[in-house]
Amino acid sequence: MEESVQVIRIEPSKGWVALQLKELWAYRELLYFLIWRDVKVRYKQTALGAAWAIIQPVFTMIVFSLFFGRLAKIPSDGIPYPIFAYAALVPWTFFSQGLGQAANSLVGSSNLLKKVYFPRLSVPIASVLSGLIDFLIAFIVLLGMMLYYGIHPTLNVIWLPFLLLLTVITSLGVSLWLSALNVHFRDVRHVLPFLTQFWLFATPIAYPSSLLSESWRTLYSINPMVGVVEGFRWALLGVETAPGPMLIVSSLVALALLVGGVFYFRRLEKTFADVL
Partner 1 sequence: MGDIAIRVEEIGKLYRIGKREKYKTLRDTLASAFTAPFRNAGKLLRGEWADPGESDPTIWALKDISFEVQRGEVIGVIGGNGAGKSTLLKILSRITEPTTGFAEIHGQVASLLEVGTGFHPELTGRENIFLNGAILGMKRAEIERKFDEIVAFSEVERFIDTTVKHYSSGMYLRLAFAVAAHLEPEILIVDEVLAVGDAAFQRKCLGKMGDVAKEGRTVFFVSHNMAAISSLCTRALLLDSGRLKVSDTPQSVIEEYLSKTRKDAGVPLSERKDRKGGGKVRFTNASVLNNRGEVVESVVSGQDISISLAYEIPSSEKIDNAIVQIKFAGGLGQQLFACLSRTSSRESIELVPGARLYCNIPRLPLAPGLYTYSIWCKVAGRLEDLVSEAGMLSVSEGDYFGTGIFPARTVGDFLVAHTWSTR
Query: Under the criterion CB under 8 A, does residue 117 sit at the interface with partner 1?
Result: yes
Q: Judge contact between 139 and 90, C-beta under 8 A.
A: yes
Q: Which stretch binds partner 1 (CB under 8 A): 55-63, 89-97, 106-114, 225-233?
A: 106-114
Query: Under the criterion CB under 8 A, does residue 264 sit at the interface with partner 1?
Result: yes
At 131, phi and psi to the nearest 5? -75, -10
Among 188, 226, 228, 262, binds partner 1 (CB under 8 A): 188
Query: Under the criterion CB under 8 A, does residue 199 sit at the interface with partner 1?
Result: no
Query: Under the criterion CB under 8 A, does residue 11 sit at the interface with partner 1?
Result: yes
Largest separation between any pair of C-alpha atoms in the chain: 79
Minimal distance in Å, beta carbon 87 to partner 1? Answer: 34
Query: Under the criterion CB under 8 A, does residue 1 sit at the interface with partner 1?
Result: no
Q: How many C-beta atoms surround the C-beta of residue 187 within 10 A?
A: 9
The residues in 30-49 that bind partner 1, with binding defined as CB under 8 A, are 30, 32-33, 36-37, 40-41, 44-45
Kind and range of the H or E element at 87? helix 81-103
Q: Judge contact between 82 and 145, C-beta under 8 A.
A: yes
Spatial neighbors of 71 by CB under 8 A, at least 6 apart, are none
Closer to partner 1 at the Cβ: 4 or 215?
4
Q: Which stretch binds partner 1 (CB under 8 A): 68-76, 116-124, 161-169, 202-210?
A: 116-124
Q: Judge contact between 120 and 264, C-beta under 8 A.
A: no
Among 1, 5, 71, 155, binds partner 1 (CB under 8 A): 5
Among 129, 166, 257, 268, binds partner 1 (CB under 8 A): 268
Q: Count interface residues toward partner 1 (CB under 8 A).
A: 43
Q: Closest by alpha carbon to 181, among 60, 99, 67, 259?
A: 99
Among 72, 184, 201, 248, binds partner 1 (CB under 8 A): 184
State how far the Cα of 89 lies from the Cα of 200, in Å rounded to an integer: 9
Q: What is the DSSP secondary-structure string of 45-84? A: HSTTTTHHHHHHHHHHHHHHIIIIIIIS----TTS-HHHH
Closer to partner 1 at the Cβ: 13 or 213?
13
Minimal distance in Å, beta carbon 259 to partner 1? Answer: 14
Query: Under the criterion CB under 8 A, does residue 183 sit at the interface with partner 1?
Result: yes
Q: Helix 81-103 vs helix 188-201: angle between axes, to the nearest 10 degrees? A: 160
Q: Which residues bind partner 1 (CB under 8 A)?
A: 5-13, 29-30, 32-33, 36-37, 40-41, 44-45, 111-118, 181, 183-188, 191, 264, 267-268, 270-271, 273-275
